[in-house]
Each structure stands twice: as structure tokens, then as C-alpha cells.
């Protein structure tokens, strides 16, 4: 607990908590009659539809919005939190994974919790939200957060760790956690990032595991035959990092999953690889699979599902249907009956390119929905060469002729190609919003990247040093083949890492994950040790040779299915930009879209974001790369930051017209929240920047109409 100047609102809130009093959640129908309306769940609710019933702020008065309060976390990082507001208190995870509680009406700090004081140590890296739980009788409350592979339970009234949860207040997940889970009765259902793929249900009081669904099937489980024999013993990836949604009335949880690893070469994981790149419907009580659909077979392009499934209701074929909509990195929207798993519109399997890499068996077809139409271009043709200047036009035209794009499913090869749609979307982790009318709103990126594989052997025939090949396969995509990193993309250099961290600290990061890095707890010890030796330029000692560290291709005794590392590695994530740093393609570079899921038709599409210097040159707003999602309200508005221009905007949800915008201290690469306290509606966004090469910080900014 920290000392603050006297704050009578904070004191009254503290007494309210201590008394065990509660405020019931507000039904949508009566929202305008209430003095307080919460935002108690990640993305607004368990359906993840980012809809608010509030309508105090409308099309007619939104131009009068002003800054109500700001709060500076004092930190710099990717501040991407969709903040919770419960009983007048705002809860946010800071860039260093501290948890802060603020008075939601004034922004004054009530308490904070610092993980550096716990066994997890100082946290870091993106954290997109928290989980709040309250017992049915209101007597118990808990706030859940993930740090360093651990899940902690905090007291929402004080920030104190609830020591009866797990072991001394925490459960070891053996997995990173950047997106919160979802509450089902007295259970917390969650995924993670890094390690073996699984969805788990934990008791909110004890932390005890109630059930687990293996996303890499074991013998006797559905999907086992879509992998090589015993792949579950060594395969990794598939963690459902982007979050889950819940049909609470039916007790069904919907899970969107990641790509299997390695992301770009699948020679050692032949088959379609269920349940990678799937939407999976499970019974929330037991974890039993109800249905699934794989949106990408045997993924070779890092096309993990980037956002939680969105639950909504539509009118289809003359009747109401409860549906689930899933966005993809290639800008397509798949829509299913959420009970049966039947698609609302036919999905066609179409042929895609075969692979030319030795040992690779790319899947011959991929699924394409017939409706809705793609929300972005599906290929980069010569007609898409940039038109912002004659020089840039010729440069992009020359490159696309030399490194042609072949649509959303190229087969990785030794030849460079333009990857478009790009690696970061299409849709991204911000996800989409849906209103009660069945209209889905989502922001989309149209940024080209470059795709190329390299051989993991020297041209002159000299052998690689121990660990080098595995570094190329598992690490070089982010940190570079030369280990120099990619600072603009958020990947640090490893050339001097020994000067900044001890070996023990680095080993801990590889096991638990940190920042943008997933954990590799499931990697055989000898393999991980050899990579660390290579990164740190340490010789392999005789004792380590005896432990198997000198030969990363040799299976660990506990992992008999580990195979010889492949002959190819990904050359790294590289955006394709012109000499001035703009996307090397004709605009738009980022858009906001409205799709009527009753009909499957796109209602409107508008640019999202702009570069003032280009606008000053007479170029129409281009849109920018964007991260973070929209919120749609009963007031007829869409609120969204996301763009790379430090601007927060409100759009008319029916037309896509910009009705209001305000400057932010840093880009709002987070999904906003909206709530009401004491009869006043607020809209708040975490402004942390740091994406798209923009300045970074860590501030909260709340807006409201004048009192």
C-alpha cells in the first residue's frame, strides 16, 4: 500500500470493499437509467464483442469530448492493456506488469502491486488485460494477472497477494501469458504462449487444475493421426495466446489457436496438424470438444489466429442464429453457427502452391470462405506499386517483378517473395467489435513484408558450431541471422547480451518467456544449452558434452521424438518499406471496416490513420499500420486508437465518417474501454506507442463530456 494525499472517494471505495458490498452488473436494457456501468471483462464481456450499451456520448455531442484525466505509469513499453472498470475502480497492468488500481472518475492511484517483490521477479512485455472474479454472493473477489510464467491472484481492494491461491499466491503455468482468460462460474479458463499447446481450467479459489484440453493430440485423441507418430512428446506451439470467448448460457468456450512450430518449415511435422490454426468449441465445465474448424492446414506462414472469436447474433436465412466470427491475418472472416459449427456461408478448399524445399509437404489446399468478401487485397500485383511518388512507384514496381507475390498462401522457398497479406495482418490481436444489429467492425493492416528461407549449412561446407543451427531455426526470425536484432520491430540485439544479463537470467527467460519472446520450457535441455552457448560465445565444456549440450540435434532422453533440425530456417521478419519508411505498396495501408453479417456484405471501408506530412503534399489520407481494436456503443459510435499517428478517433458506426479526434501522448495501440461513474460516461485508452517504430511511453488518457 502506498501513501497518498487524502482522497475521500478512495476512502469510501476502500470501506465499500472492506464491507464486502457489491454492485450488480448492469443489464444492457437499463444502462441509461443507471449511475454506474462497468467494463468488468477483457474486451467488454465474455462474448468479446466490444459492445457497450452506453449512449450518453452520441453522434451529436461527441465533438465536445475533452480529456477528463490522465495517469502516467512512469514506464516505457508496449502498453496494450484493455482496462477493467469494476465498482468505480479501474484496474490496469503497466508495461512492467505492475498492477494498478485507480479511481475511475479521477485517475487517482488507490494502490499498486509490484511483481518484482514476488518470486516471478520484475515483469515485462505486453500484457493485454486482467481477469476479475466475484463469487455469486459477492463475498469474495479476485484479480488475476500473469507474470514470468506464473498466474497470481490479488485482492482487488488492496492489491495484496491472496496466499491461499496455488503455492503462496501463484500457480506455475510453465507458459507465458499476455492475454487474460475467461471466467466460467468458479473456474478460470486460459491458454498461454510458448510451450506445449493446451487449454486449461483452474479453480479460482485454489488454483487447482480442473481439466486440460491438449491441442497437440495424444494417442487415442481426435487429431492424433494429423501429426507424425508421438509428435505430442516434443512438438510445441499451438498455445491459444489471443484469448477465449464464452457462451455463458450454453456453457461453451471458444478457443482460437496458434501455428505449430517451427513456423516456416514443417518437414518434421507432416500432416494437417490439428489443432493448430483452429477455432475449437469446448464444454466449459469439462473441456470436452464439441466441434472445431481448421482455418489453415499445416501452416508454414505464421498465420496463427490473431484475435479472440467474437460472439454475436445475426438473421440468416430468415431466422435468428447465434454465431461466432473469427478474423484472420489474411483479412478474411469465417462465420459459424456457434452451436453446430456449421459455416453460415460455404467454405471452399482451393489449391495452393506446392513446396520446393527438401522434406516439406505443404498442404495442397486451403479453406476460403465465399462470404464475406476479403477485407483487404489478397495479392500484390503490379497495379499495387506505390503511387506516393514517381521514385517510390518505380522502386516498388522493380521489386515486385523480381520478388513476385503469389497471394495469401505462398510456399516458403529459397527465393525471396513479397509476403502479402503480411505477417501482422489483416486482422491483428485487437480483434473486432459487433453490435446487436449483427454488424461486425474491425481494423485491418495492408502492409507488405518479405518472405525467404535460408539453408542452415555453410556454402563452403564447413560445419556449424554447436547450437548455431538451432539458433537459426528458433531464434533468427526475430533476432536476425547475425544476432543483431531488429530494434524497430521490438527484437533486441543479442551481440552484447552477456553485458546486460547473466547466463542465469537468460536461461530463466528461455524457460519462462519474456517481452515478445515465448518460453521454451518444453525444449530439450541439451538443445537449449547449446543455443545459449552459441549466443554467449561460450565454449562447450567436456562436462556439457557429456550432458548432450554439444549436439543439439541429439534427442533429450525425455524427448525421444525430437528429430534432426531441418536444413532450412526463416530469414527473419522484414517489413517492406520505401526509402522514407512508408509501406511499399499503394495505399490504403490501414482501414476500418463494417461488415453486415446478416447478409455477408461489406457496408463500408475507410482509411484508419494518416501521415500529416503526406496529407500536406496533397495525398489523401493513406491509413497507417494499426494495432488495437475498436469499441462500438449504443450511442452510434466506434472509438479506436490503433493507428501510428498518436490519435484517438470516433467514427459514425453507420457511415464510417470521422466525427471526433484527439491527440494522444503516444499511439493508442490498445483497445479502449468505456464505462459510467456517477452518471458520467468515460472512454479510456492505454497510450503506450512502441509499435510501427513510433515513440513509446505508458500513459492512460480518459475522455468525457464536460460536466
Tell me, yes or no, whether 704 and 594 share the same domain: yes
Q: With a cut of 80, say whether residue 551 has pLDDT above it.
A: no
Given this model, what pLDDT does residue 32 score?
A: 64
Omega of the bond leading into 262 within 30 degrees of 0 (cis)? yes
Boundaries of domain holding 17: 1-110+590-707
Which segments of 305-429 are extended strands (E)?
A: 310-316, 319-327, 333-337, 347-351, 365-369, 417-419
In this prediction the pTM is 0.87
Tell me, yes or no, whether 471 and 533 share the same domain: yes
Tell me, yes or no, whether 533 and 595 share the same domain: no
With respect to residue 387, please indicate whether it lies within any of the assigned structural domains: no
What's the whole-number mean pLDDT along residues 439-450? 98
Tell me, yes or no, whether 638 and 681 share the same domain: yes
Please state which of the ranges 114-128, 198-212, 213-227 shows the lowest mean pLDDT: 114-128
Tell me, yes or no, whether 594 and 704 share the same domain: yes
Element (H, E) at 631: strand 631-633
Please state which of the ranges 322-336, 423-437, 555-569 shows the lowest mean pLDDT: 555-569
What's the whole-number mean pLDDT along residues 55-71? 98
Radius of gyration of the chain (CA): 25
What's the whole-number mean pLDDT along residues 586-603? 98
Q: How far apart are CA 531 and CA 524, in angstroms?
A: 11
CATH of the domain at 518: 1.10.760.10
Tell me which of 524, 548, 565 is where a domain ends. 565
Q: How far apart are CA 649 and CA 354, in angstroms?
A: 44
Given this model, what pLDDT does residue 12 score?
A: 41
Tell me, yes or no, whether 536 and 624 share the same domain: no
With respect to residue 431, please indicate whether it lies within any of the assigned structural domains: no
Tell me which of 532, 548, 565 is where a domain ends. 565
Tell me, yes or no, whether 559 and 594 share the same domain: no
The answer to whether the CB of 308 falls within 8 A of the CB of 190 is no
What one-character-per-residue DSSP string does 224-266 give? GGGSSTTGGGT--B---TT-EEEETTTTEEEEE-PPBSSSS--
Q: How far is CA 488 from each of CA 265, 287, 610, 704, rounded to the nearest angstrom?
A: 25, 40, 20, 34
Helix (H, G, I), strand (E, B) or coil at 415: coil
Q: With a cut of 80, say whether residue 547 has pLDDT above it.
A: no
pLDDT tens digit string along 297-323? 999 999 999 999 999 999 999 999 999
Q: With a cut of 70, say whether residue 177 has pLDDT above it.
A: yes
What's the whole-number mean pLDDT along residues 283-308? 98
Q: With a cut of 80, say whether residue 379 has pLDDT above it.
A: yes
For residue 500, the tally of other CB atoms under 10 A from its CB is: 11
Q: How far apart are CA 81 and CA 125, in angstroms?
A: 11
The answer to whether the CB of 466 falls within 8 A of the CB of 540 is yes
What's the whole-number mean pLDDT along residues 498-512? 85
φ, ψ of residue 204 to 5 degrees: the values are -65, -25
With respect to residue 141, please indicate whether it lies within any of the assigned structural domains: no
Tell me, yes or no, whether 597 and 539 share the same domain: no
The closest of 140, 134, 143, 138 to 110, measured between CA atoms, is 143
With respect to residue 690, please indicate whether it lies within any of the assigned structural domains: yes
Q: How far apart are CA 521 and CA 509, in angstroms?
A: 10
Maximum CA extent, the chain: 76
The answer to whether the CB of 327 falls within 8 A of the CB of 335 is no
Q: How many domains does the chain have?
A: 2
With respect to residue 238, please indicate whether it lies within any of the assigned structural domains: no
pLDDT tens digit string along 1-41? 333 333 334 434 443 333 333 333 334 445 767 899 999 99
Tell me, yes or no, whether 560 and 597 share the same domain: no
Given this model, what pLDDT does residue 555 score?
A: 30
With respect to residue 420, please indicate whether it lies within any of the assigned structural domains: no
With respect to residue 26, please indicate whether it lies within any of the assigned structural domains: yes
Tell me, yes or no, whether 556 and 485 share the same domain: yes
Beta-bridge partner residues of 314: 321
- The dihedral over CA atoms of 30, 35, 40, 44, expressed in degrees to the nearest 10, equals 60
Q: How far apart are CA 697 and CA 447, in angstroms?
A: 24
Tell me, yes or no, whether 607 and 560 share the same domain: no
The answer to whether the CB of 4 falls within 8 A of the CB of 109 is yes
- Grid coordinates representing 393? 512507384
Tell me, yes or no, whether 594 and 541 share the same domain: no
Q: With a cut of 80, say whether residue 151 has pLDDT above it.
A: yes
The closest of 145, 129, 112, 123 to 77, measured between CA atoms, is 123
Which segments of 474-589 are extended strands (E)?
A: 568-570, 574-575
With respect to residue 485, please indicate whether it lies within any of the assigned structural domains: yes
Amino acid at each position: 500500500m502506498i501513501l497518498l494525499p487524502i482522497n475521500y472517494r478512495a476512502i469510501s471505495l476502500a470501506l465499500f470493499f472492506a464491507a464486502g458490498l457489491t454492485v450488480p452488473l448492469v443489464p444492457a436494457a437499463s444502462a441509461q437509467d443507471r449511475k454506474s456501468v462497468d467494463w468488468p471483462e477483457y474486451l467488454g464481456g465474455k462474448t468479446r464483442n466490444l459492445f457497450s450499451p452506453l449512449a450518453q456520448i452520441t453522434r451529436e455531442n461527441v465533438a465536445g469530448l475533452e480529456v477528463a484525466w490522465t495517469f502516467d505509469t512512469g514506464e516505457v513499453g508496449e502498453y496494450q492493456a484493455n482496462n477493467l472498470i469494476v465498482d468505480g475502480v479501474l484496474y490496469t497492468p503497466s508495461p512492467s506488469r505492475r498492477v494498478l488500481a485507480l479511481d475511475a472518475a479521477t485517475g487517482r492511484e488507490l494502490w499498486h502491486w509490484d511483481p518484482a517483490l514476488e518470486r516471478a521477479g520484475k515483469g515485462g512485455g505486453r500484457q493485454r488485460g486482467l481477469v476479475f472474479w466475484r463469487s455469486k454472493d459477492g463475498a469474495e473477489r479476485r484479480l488475476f494477472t500473469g507474470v514470468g510464467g506464473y498466474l497470481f491472484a490479488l485482492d482487488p481492494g488492496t492489491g495484496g497477494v491472496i496466499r491461499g491461491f496455488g503455492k503462496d499466491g501463484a500457480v506455475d503455468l510453465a507458459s507465458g501469458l499476455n492475454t487474460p482468460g475467461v471466467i466460467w462460474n468458479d473456474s478460470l479458463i486460459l491458454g498461454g504462449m510458448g510451450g506445449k499447446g493446451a487449454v486449461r481450467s483452474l479453480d479460482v479459489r485454489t488454483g487447482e487444475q480442473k481439466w486440460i484440453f491438449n491441442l497437440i493430440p495424444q494417442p487415442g485423441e481426435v487429431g492424433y493421426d494429423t501429426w507424425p507418430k508421438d509428435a505430442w512428446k516434443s512438438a510445441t506451439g499451438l498455445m491459444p495466446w489471443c484469448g477465449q470467448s464464452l457462451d455463458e448460457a450454453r456453457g461453451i468456450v471458444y478457443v482460437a489457436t496458434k501455428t505449430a512450430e517451427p513456423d516456416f518449415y514443417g518437414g518434421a511435422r507432416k500432416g494437417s496438424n490439428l489443432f493448430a490454426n483452429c477455432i475449437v468449441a469446448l464444454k466449459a465445465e469439462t473441456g470436452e470438444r464439441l466441434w472445431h474448424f481448421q482455418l489453415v492446414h499445416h501452416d508454414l506462414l505464421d498465420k496463427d489466429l490473431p484475435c479472440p472469436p467474437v460472439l454475436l447474433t445475426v438473421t440468416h436465412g430468415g431466422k435468428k442464429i447465434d454465431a461466432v466470427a473469427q478474423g484472420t491475418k489474411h483479412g478474411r472472416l469465417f462465420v459459424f453457427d456457434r452451436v453446430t459449427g456449421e459455416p453460415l456461408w460455404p467454405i471452399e478448399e482451393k489449391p495452393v502452391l506446392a513446396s520446393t524445399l527438401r522434406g516439406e509437404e505443404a498442404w495442397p489446399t486451403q479453406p476460403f470462405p465465399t462470404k464475406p468478401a476479403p477485407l483487404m487485397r489478397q495479392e500484390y500485383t503490379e497495379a499495387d506499386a506505390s503511387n506516393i511518388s514517381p521514385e517510390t512507384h518505380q522502386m516498388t514496381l522493380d521489386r515486385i517483378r523480381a520478388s513476385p507475390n503469389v497471394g495469401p498462401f505462398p510456399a516458403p522457398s529459397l527465393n525471396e517473395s513479397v509476403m502479402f497479406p503480411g505477417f501482422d495482418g489483416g486482422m491483428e490481436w485487437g480483434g473486432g467489435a459487433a453490435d446487436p444489429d449483427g454488424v461486425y467492425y474491425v481494423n485491418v493492416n495492408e502492409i507488405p513484408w518479405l518472405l525467404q528461407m535460408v539453408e542452415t549449412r555453410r556454402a563452403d561446407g564447413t560445419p556449424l558450431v554447436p547450437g548455431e543451427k538451432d539458433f537459426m531455426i528458433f531464434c533468427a526470425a526475430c533476432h536476425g541471422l547475425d544476432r543483431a536484432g531488429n530494434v524497430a520491430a521490438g527484437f533486441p540485439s543479442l551481440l552484447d547480451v552477456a553485458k546486460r544479463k547473466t547466463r542465469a537470467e537468460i536461461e530463466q527467460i528461455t524457460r519462462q518467456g519474456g517481452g515478445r519472446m515465448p518460453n521454451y520450457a518444453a525444449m530439450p535441455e541439451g538443445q537449449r544449452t547449446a543455443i545459449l552457448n552459441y549466443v554467449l560465445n561460450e565454449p562447450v565444456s567436456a562436462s556439457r558434452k557429456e550432458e548432450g549440450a554439444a549436439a543439439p540435434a541429439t534427442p533429450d532422453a525425455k524427448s525421444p521424438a525430437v528429430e534432426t533440425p531441418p536444413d532450412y530456417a526463416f530469414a527473419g521478419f522484414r517489413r517492406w518499406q520505401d526509402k522514407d519508411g512508408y509501406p511499399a505498396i499503394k495505399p490504403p495501408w490501414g482501414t476500418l471496416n463494417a461488415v453486415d453479417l446478416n447478409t455477408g456484405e461489406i457496408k463500408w471501408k475507410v482509411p484508419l490513420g494518416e501521415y500529416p506530412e503526406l496529407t500536406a503534399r496533397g495525398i489523401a489520407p493513406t491509413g497507417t499500420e494499426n494495432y488495437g481494436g475498436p469499441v462500438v456503443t449504443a450511442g452510434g459510435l466506434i472509438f479506436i486508437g490503433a493507428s501510428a499517428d498518436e490519435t484517438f478517433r470516433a467514427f459514425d458506426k453507420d457511415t464510417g465518417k470521422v466525427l471526433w479526434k484527439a491527440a494522444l501522448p503516444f499511439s493508442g495501440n490498445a483497445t479502449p474501454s468505456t464505462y459510467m461513474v456517477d452518471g458520467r460516461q468515460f472512454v479510456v485508452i492505454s497510450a503506450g506507442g512502441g509499435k510501427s517504430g513510433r515513440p513509446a511511453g505508458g500513459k492512460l488518457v480518459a475522455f468525457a463530456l464536460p460536466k
